[in-house]
Structure 1
Amino acid sequence: MDFQRGTTVQLGSVEYLRYLPAELSKELKECDKITPVVVLNSVGSDILLENLENTLAKLIEEDDVFTSDFMANNLLVFQSLQLGSSKANLPVEVVEYLEKTATRCFFLQWTSDEDILPQGPYFASHKGLHQAWRLYEDKLAAFVSTTFPADHSNYEFNPVGVVAGTGLHRAVAVPSRLYYPRSAAKPLNGIRVAVKDNIHLNGVVTTLGSRSYTECYGVQKQTATFVKHLIDQGAVIVGKTKMSSYAGSEIPPEKCIDYFPPWNARADGYQGPSGSSSGSGASAGGYSWLDLAFGTDTTGSARMPAAAHGLWGLKASWNLFPMQGVVPSVPPFDSFGIFARSYSEIQRVLLSSGIPELDERKLPIRILYPTDWFPYKNPAQQQMTEEFVGILEELLGVTRTNISLKDEWTRSAPENFRQIPITEFLYDIIKISQAISLMEMGEEITEEERAQSDDETKVYRDWIDEKILTKDSSGAPEAIMILPLGRPGPNYRDIVPPQQYVTLD
């Protein structure tokens, strides 16, 4: 099936997308049919049977795209910067191995290091050499669309546009990890990333979880600024993940109206996926071939799915990453959320964004333990919290400080706001900010209301910075606060509990 610049190919039991034709040599371009190719960096006396077999085994172990099927009825391409290599110089045992596997052998000599291709699997045809991108089935229905890069320089994408071989689900295309050696200049090289469908990709539709939004805005003409940064660092964007409509409080699946919600791979497979970054959580939690997923978080849209899918999750500090190219929900609170199965993957993103390692920063000197929420009513959940806080106390060398945010607000907020309960104050800010962003409240927002919301947001932010999460004279944070998340026990997707969120009462 032809589409855009790729063609699907089946090799053994695995489906692939042939991608990015590259002109190499007359011999390869004369292939009369699609042929698997293995490219290796080896010449002369290095081409011993033991070395060859060890190299191939190592590449297969390191990469899920390169399988043993690439080593039958194929082309084996040795490339180097040296002259004089040919099949005639190969040891007898290597020639016998090639004949046994019906492998044709070629030698390519380049004039500079820039010409050398990464080792790994390719496909050859009369049009040239193509990268091999493996197609995975989106069995969890986590993706709303899958993509591959159309033009790296313009940060543009094409939809993959095919279904998996079963015909039941979308196919997600991922490139060989062998194409992307890590380097200081490309610390995220080859990292496979999915992004939430409120994050724009040039050339791809943003649905925002809504059919109406999809019909109104269509294909986007920009890629989000932070996604550009990830691409510049070497990340590969493989698709856009499902979300609650308008990043709202739809609880999958009962309240998801326009798009069917993802499945959660945990336990019996019938746990709720949570929201609003449900697809990002499902993809990172359920697919070992995906490294990272990005969502957004305003009031829990990344933290809740991270907990539901058993993932490491980070709600980035507000304004830490640029939000240009992301459909806003409540701008004073919107931020990126990162999902991964390992904290090291999240750390890699932070380091690539210029955030220093832990031992290069001043550590907090206070642990705030808000009694507005703690202790939990469930003993097992409280025990887990106590264990975590104990580890944090040992790491920082300090003992927790109990605090009541309600009482602190009444005591230290600006005088003209102290009589307003903190929950009511925050609710009004969020309500007006969201109405400004999406106009979903069905009412006009006056300039006075807009100005009031901006002023009150600043009041709250200043109060948090000056009275609660204080900083030292150098600007380093002095305090870290423990916050509640989720509820104990299973959360089946067909049962909506009466209390979904923890509130300050």
Structure 2
Amino acid sequence: MPARVALDSHINRSSCHLYSLKNSHLDYSLARGGENLLPSGPYFLYNDGIYEAWRLYPDDLDAFEVAVVLQDRYRPARWDQYTSNNQAAASWPWPARFSPLKLLDQEGLWKSIAVPSRLYAQKSRKHPLAGVRISVKDNSKLAGIKTTMTNRAFTQLYPAEFETAEYVETLLRLGAIIVGKSKMCSFAAGENPGDWIDSHCPVNPRGDQYQSPGSSTAGGGASLAGYSWLDYSIGTDTAGSIRAPAACNGLFGLRPSFGAATLNGVFPLSRDHDTVGFLSRRLDSLQELVRDTTNLKEPKTLSTRILYPKEFFPVANDEQQILLENYICVLESHLKAPRIEFSLVELWARCPPREAEGKSLHEYLGNSISHQYYYDAYHEYDGFRKDYRDTYGREAYGGPLVKYRWDKGASLTVEERDEGKAQLAVFRQWFYENVLKQDSDSLSDSVLVLPEGKAVPEYRDEAVPFSILEILGENTLAMVLELPHLVLPIGQNSYESRASGRTEHRPVSGSLVGAKGSDLMLIRLAHEAFESAGWQTEVQTGRYTFSLDTTT
């Protein structure tokens, strides 16, 4: 009785969620004398069932669209113990199905996110992610859960999903815990905080908490920077949807090589440019996640050349440039290789591809990116707009930035889109032959250093004008080239906040781009270089990315 009273007390304080093992395959196996199926950890007998006790955390950064619980969380991790001839295994639901967690915190203000104890997790070679807590972006399907795309019309029109995204299934089979779907910009459009109309933009925990959390994977970035109980955030990246939140929230982020992980079961923006994306607070953990869940190769050696494109340097902010110089010097020291300064525009002029017919880089490419990007962003949702119009007799509304992009996409012809696609293919091949080349040992004969993000305040209540994508943008270059792009927190810039009225600190990032398939080499290079220089390879949660009494 005392144990039950204590448990009831926890429930009443809304600090604990009971996860029932009844009706799971675990319950089925225990009833038949199964062995070693119940992991170590605390359990509770309550009424006629056995339960795990999960801790409830308030989402006070408003970063989650919905909290979820897997209906049978041991099924994916134990699947290998069964054969296809086993009747019990064959009867399990496939794909993995989730239930929404309909709980608020003690004050009734914030969603509660349920997290199991790590004591239940037993990592192994087959289950390297056992017990790892992960959020996934709202454009990834979870069976049993609605996908909102942060759009009222989309949420109103479609029911809960019947399938789970294939990459999420991979995470589950490796033992991961999916705790919820993080908020995203509407239709992954890269909205600024003032553009959000159907949901509240997540709160960036860094500095004064009134800075932009970045673009599309905003909820994933804000939650990982603010919640120590979360290990990774998984999102997607087209033109910076992982990289911008990584920089704004002071996190390690990777847009992987195009095609490194499946996007089956993910609502796309542009199928020719979308990738899964990864956010982590630790470089070594990021390396483990990428290695375990993608088809990427491990390098034998590191690259030996550092390319410094003059189109991107120096940056406008002097303090940011100083930090970037320090970062590049760390790479130079570790590789014992001075940077090679060059200009992409000048290199193109010296050896242009035949298809350019003598045109400069900017003249040839022109609007190639924007034509393909906006055409895809509009026509990917032709079916949605028709379904909504047929069902409700009016047009679906997409918000100011979505409308801006859809209007541009609607004005483009398929011929214009295909011409832009062909021009980008020419640029991609030229770049592979003249700038970054694949290597059998290092996977990339060179690395390209780039800045990432801004070092000056970007208050969430400031209006930001819409802009057209450019070929030499810090987040468009790797996108059109299908290359891995790694974002690295390298320091903090102080600023006098008009929101808090005190000195705050904003994270500053650098980044690395390598040849296609060199993702793990980039992470290894950064990790080794930072450790050799005594720089931090892990960031904190909360107000500061790094402690003020330490350097990067």
Query: TM-score if structure 2 supplies the norm length?
Result: 0.69
The alignment-based identity, stated in percent, is 35
- Given candidates 367, 370, 376, the residue that maps to 2:309 is 370
2:378 corresponds in structure 1 to: 435
Residue number among 239, 261, 268 corresponding to 1:299 in the alignment = 239
Q: Which amino acid aligns with 1:373?
A: F
- Larger mean CA deviation between 278-287 and 124-133 belongs to 124-133
Which residue of structure 2 lines up, in the alignment, with residue 458 of structure 1?
425
Residue 542 of structure 2 corresponds to none
CA distance in 1, matches of 2:453, 2:366: 19
Given candidates 41, 48, 61, the residue that maps to 1:120 is: 41
After TM superposition, the structure 1 stretch with the greater mean CA deviation from structure 2, 479-488 or 430-439, is 430-439
* Cα drift, residue 384 of structure 1: 0.8
- The 5-angstrom pairing of residues 393-404 of structure 1 reads 393-404=332-343
For residues 354 and 432 of structure 1, the distance between their equivalents in structure 2, rounded to whole angstroms, comes to 29
Deviation, structure 1 residue 202: 1.0
* Rg larger in structure: 1
Q: What's the CA shift for 1:186?
A: 0.5
1:21 aligns with 2:28: no
How does 1:33-112 map onto structure 2 within 5 Å?
none
Task: Give the drift of 1:467.
Answer: 2.1
Q: 2:61·2:205 contact (CA, 8 Å) conserved in 1?
A: yes
The partner residue of 2:460 within 468, 488, 493 is 493
Please tell me the residue identity of whatever aligns with 2:169: K
State the secondary structure of the residue aligned to 1:434.
helix
**What do the CA deviations read for 1:365-411 (whole angstroms, capped 9, x no partner)?**
32111111101122211111111111112222322111222233344
Structure 1 residue aligned with 2:229: 289
Q: Relative to 1, partners in 2 of residues 1:452 and 1:188: Cα closer, same or farther, differing over 3 Å?
A: same
Larger mean Cα displacement after TM superposition, 321-330 or 451-460 = 451-460
> 1:460 and 1:212 mapped to 2: Cα distance?
38
Equivalences for residues 319-358 of structure 1 within 5 A = 319-353=259-293
Question: 1:314 and 2:235 equivalent?
Answer: no
Instruction: State the AA in 2 paired with 1:377.
Output: A
What does residue 138 of structure 2 align with? Answer: 197
Give the one of 316, 321, 324 matched to 1:385: 324
The change in CA–CA distance for 1:497 and 1:399 in structure 2 (over 3 A counts) is same
CA distance in 1 between counterparts of 2:12 and 2:342 reads 61
Match of 2:203 among 257, 263, 267: 263
Tell which has more relative contact order, 1 or 2 (C-alpha 8 A, sep 6+): 2
Question: Residue in 2 aligned with 1:469?
Answer: 436
Quick one: distance in 2 between partners of 1:251 and 1:408?
35
Instruction: Name the counterpart of 1:182.
Output: 123
Q: Give, in whole Å, the separation in 2 of the partners of 1:432 and 1:23.
A: 48
User: CA distance change for structure 1 residues 134 and 274 in 2, over 3 Å: closer, same or farther?
Assistant: same
Gaps of 5+ in 2: 1-6, 25-29, 76-93, 383-405, 474-552
* Paired residues, number: 413
Cα distance, 1:122 vs. partner?
Answer: 2.1
Check conservation: 2:128, 2:174, Cα contact below 8 A.
yes
Structure 1 residues 216 and 461: CA distance shift in structure 2, 3 A = farther
Deviation at 1:446, TM superposition (A): 4.8
Given that 1:330 and 1:437 are in contact with CA atoms closer than 8 Å, whether structure 2 keeps it comes out as yes
Aligned to 1:136: 57
For 2:9 and 2:146, locate their aligned partners in 1 and report how far apart those are by CA, in whole Å.
26
Give the unaligned 5+ runs of structure 1.
Answer: 1-6, 25-107
C-alpha displacement of 1:231: 0.8
Per-residue deviation, 1:475: 8.8
Instruction: Assess, with a 3 A threshold, how the Cα gap between structure 1 residues 438 and 452 changes in structure 2: closer, same or farther.
Output: farther
Does the 8 Å CA contact 1:486/1:501 hold for their aligned counterparts? no
Residues of 2 paired with 1:347 and 1:204: CA distance?
30
Q: C-alpha distance in 2, partners of 1:285/1:501?
A: 29
- Go from structure 1 to structure 2 and tell me whether the alpha carbon gap of 1:490 and 1:466 turns closer, same or farther (over 3 Å shift): same
1:23–1:128: 8 Å Cα contact kept in structure 2? Answer: no
CA contact (8 A) 2:237 2:255 kept: yes
Residue 165 of structure 1: aligned partner: 106
Give 1:455 shift. 2.5
> 1:183, CA displacement in angstroms?
0.8
CA distance in 2, matches of 1:119, 1:302: 36
Match of 2:346 in 1: 407
CA–CA distance in 1 between the matches of 2:199 and 2:444? 41
Q: Which amino acid aligns with 2:456?
A: G
Counterpart secondary structure, 1:487 = coil
The CA distance in 2 between the partners of 1:8 and 1:276, in whole Å, is 40
- Paired residue type of 1:277: T
Q: Counterpart of 1:135 in 2: which secondary structure?
A: strand
Describe the SS at the equivalent of 1:154. coil
2:89 corresponds to which residue? Answer: none
- Cα-to-partner distance string for 1:185-223 (whole Å, 9 max, x where unaligned): 100001000011111111111111111222233311111
Tell me, in whole angstroms, the C-alpha distance in 2 between the residues paired with 1:434 and 1:354.
Answer: 26
One-letter identity of the residue aligned with 2:450? L
Residues 198 and 113 of structure 1, relative CA distance in 2, 3 Å threshold: same
